[in-house]
Amino acid sequence: MSETGGDEAESVRNYFNTVGADRWKKIYGETDEVNKVQLDIRQGHQKTVDKVIGWMAGKDMNGVTVCDAGCGTGSLAIPLALSGAAVSASDISSAMVGEAEVRFNNEIAAGKKAPSVAPKFEALGLEECSGKYDVVTCIDVMIHYPTDRVNGMINHLASLSEDKLIVSFAPKTLAYSILKRVGELFPGPSKATRAYLHAEEDVESALKAAGFKVTRREMTATQFYFSRLLECERV
C-alpha cells in the first residue's frame, strides 16, 4: 500500500489493469493458488457479498435495475444478474470488468438461466457512470478514494439511485488505522495502491447530504479484511 504518486485514479487503473488484476482475480476466485492472507480476504469479502445478496433475498429482482460501480470480477454483479436484475456493471479497470464478463458468460455456458435483460459490462470510473437505477451498489471501492474526494463520489452515486444505495468501506478506527500502518511497513510486491480508511460519521453525513438515510448496517471483520456495509434509502 505504498504511495504511487501521480494521479490517484490513474495509478489505481494501472494497478488493476496489471499486477493488481492477477492478484485480485485469484483472491476473488475459487482456486487454491492463494496464500493465508489472501484466503482470509477472499472469505471476508464473500461474507460482505453474501450480506448484500441476503438483503435482496425474497424480493422479486426481475427487471430491477442495478448499477454495480467498481464491480471488480463481478462477485456481486453476477449473482444479481442471475437473479433476474438488469445489471450495469462497470469498473475503472478494463481487465477486472473484462474478467467479470468472462465469468458471467461461463455461468451461462455452465447452464445457469440467462436474465431477460443481459448485463452490461463497461470500463468506466465511478464518476463516469450515468443513468438512473433502482439500486446502486459500490462494494469495497472506497478504500481507493482519498478522503477529500469521497463526498463528491457519494454524491454522484446517490444521483444515479432512485431508491437504494449500498456502499461498503474500511472504517477509520484506531485499531484499523494501526493495522493499516503495519501493513504499510511491510508492503507486498503486488500491493501498489494507497489505501484510505473512512470515518463512518463522515460517510453517513455525505449520504445524508445526498438525500439518503441508512436503513441497515453490517460489519464484517476477519483477520485481514474489514468492511462496514451500509444500506441506504432515498428519503
Which of 60, 188 has the CB closer to ligand SAM? 188
Which of 14, 65 has the CB closer to ligand SAM? 14
Counting contacts by CB under 6 A, is residue 166 touching ligand SAM?
no
- Pure H helices in the chain: 8-17, 19-27, 36-56, 77-82, 94-109, 147-160, 174-185, 200-209
- CA–CA dist 37, 27 (Å, integer): 10
Beta-carbon neighbour count of residue 132 at 10 Å?
12
Which of 125, 235 has the CB closer to ligand SAM? 125
Shortest CA distance to 212 belongs to which of 140, 160, 170?
160
* Residue 91, strand partner residues: 123
Counting contacts by CB under 6 A, is residue 96 touching ligand SAM?
yes
Which of 50, 184 has the CB closer to ligand SAM? 50
Which of 101, 140 has the CB closer to ligand SAM? 140
**Stretch binding ligand SAM (CB under 6 A), from 54-62, 104-112, 139-147, 157-165:** 139-147
The interface mask with ligand SAM, positions 109-138, x = CB under 6 A, is ----------------xx------------
Q: Give the distance from CA 24 to its chain's centroid.
A: 12
- CA–CA dist 222, 176 (Å, integer): 12
Exposure of 33 in the CB half-sphere (CA atoms within 13 A): 8
Cell 431477460 locates to 116
Handedness of CA 104, 109, 110, 111 (dihedral sign): positive
Which of 219, 235 has the CB closer to ligand SAM? 219
Query: Which residue of 82, 89, 92, 154 would you call a contact of ligand SAM, by CB under 6 A?
Result: 92
Counting contacts by CB under 6 A, is residue 98 touching ligand SAM?
no
**Stretch binding ligand SAM (CB under 6 A), from 87-95, 103-111, 175-183, 202-210:** 87-95
**Stretch binding ligand SAM (CB under 6 A), from 92-100, 108-116, 159-167, 206-214:** 92-100
Amino acid identity for residue 196 in this structure: Y
Q: Which residues contribute to the site for ligand SAM (CB under 6 A)? A: 9, 12, 16, 24, 28, 70-72, 75-76, 91-93, 96, 125-126, 139-141, 144
